[in-house]
Amino acid sequence: MSLIDVLNENNIAVNLPVKSKKELINTIAQLACKSPVLKDIDCKTVESTLWEREELASTGLGSGVAIPHCRLPGLSTFVVGVAITKKSIDFDAIDNEKVNIFPFVIGPEENPKEHLKVLSGMARLLRNPETRNAMRKARTAEDLFELLKGLLEDVSSVAPQPVGPAMRMLHVFVRDEEIFNDVLQVFASGEPIGAMVLEAHESTEYLSGMPIFAGFWNNDLNTFNRIIIAVVKENLLNQTLRSIEYVCGDLRKQTDVMVTVTDLHHALGSLDF
């Protein structure tokens, strides 16, 4: 399942005259309940469950975006929509900035993995400032739906794959914490067999501790180094690489990210994450 399969124009609204977090959550509950998926659930239940999730930690991601979400028992699928307010409101975002873009996700309680994929996919899409600006300019729900539909189709399109091994091994070397968080969301929202993270240290960190090399690096050492290792199905390789580049920018110009791809001739077993 992808975002484009569950996003519905009936669950989208723009230019909302909302002035507070409480009013926003109520508005999202009402908007979500337009979906037939929630026909047997009272809107007050949706609202209170969204509030319970917010009490755990704010869903404000920063850059004017928050993704209120919750899981409910008995749902057959997801309800995904977007609310854009006329003016930005306080939402306890991690960067302390006000928010006016509110994609929301209501999902089945029994399917946390798919819920994570939907959330991560939406967060990754909104990482792009051009996407956020275009969303803010949408005049109608239909305009916004068509914009998002086009973006999601572009991100999810897969180029023809060459004949070769069925699986590939990806290593993503990252030296920037913000980029690391964005790249990790790519794997959370995609379909690799599994992804793990290793904490690494640059060789210069060890060399700087040797007396013979003392004074060469001083305080210039990069202490944030992570390696994401993932096994990816070959038919998803191009899509995964494009998604990584989408959040990082042109990899050929990056100095804090490097991606390597290795053929896998044997892959036995699996990891359930």
222-241 pLDDT per residue, tens: 678 999 999 888 888 888 89
pLDDT higher than 60, residue 162: no
Tokens encoding 73: 């028992």
Could you tell me which residue, 181 or 208, shows the higher pLDDT? Answer: 181
CATH of domain 3-156: 3.40.930.10
Neighbours of 93 (CB within 10 A): 19
Note the pLDDT of residue 82: 96
In angstroms, the CA 124 to CA 246 distance is 8
First to last CA, the chain: 17
The model's confidence at residue 221, banded by pLDDT at 50, 70 and 90, is: low
Neighbours of 125 (CB within 10 A): 22
Nearest to residue 106, comparing CAs of 155, 62, 41?
41
pLDDT higher than 90, residue 36: yes
pTM comes to 0.68
Q: What percent of the chain has pLDDT over 70?
A: 86
> DSSP states of the chain as a string?
--HHHHEEEEEEEEEE---SHHHHHHHHHHHHTTSGGGTTS-HHHHHHHHHHHHHHS--EEETTEE--EEEETT-SS-EEEEEEEEEEE----TT---EEEEEEEEEETT-HHHHHHHHHHHHHHTTSHHHHHHHHT--SHHHHHHHHHHHHHHHH--PPPPSS-SEEEEEEEE--HHHHHHHHHHHHHS--SEEEEEE---HHHHHTTSGGGTTSSTT------EEEEEEEEGGGHHHHHHHHHHHH--GGG-SSEEEEEEEES--------
Active site residues: 69
User: Do the beta carbons of residue 29 and residue 78 sit within 8 Å?
Assistant: no
CATH of domain 167-264: 3.30.70.120
Domain ranges in the chain are 3-156, 167-264
Note the pLDDT of residue 235: 84
Domains 3-156 and 167-264 share a fold: no
In angstroms, the CA 19 to CA 53 distance is 20
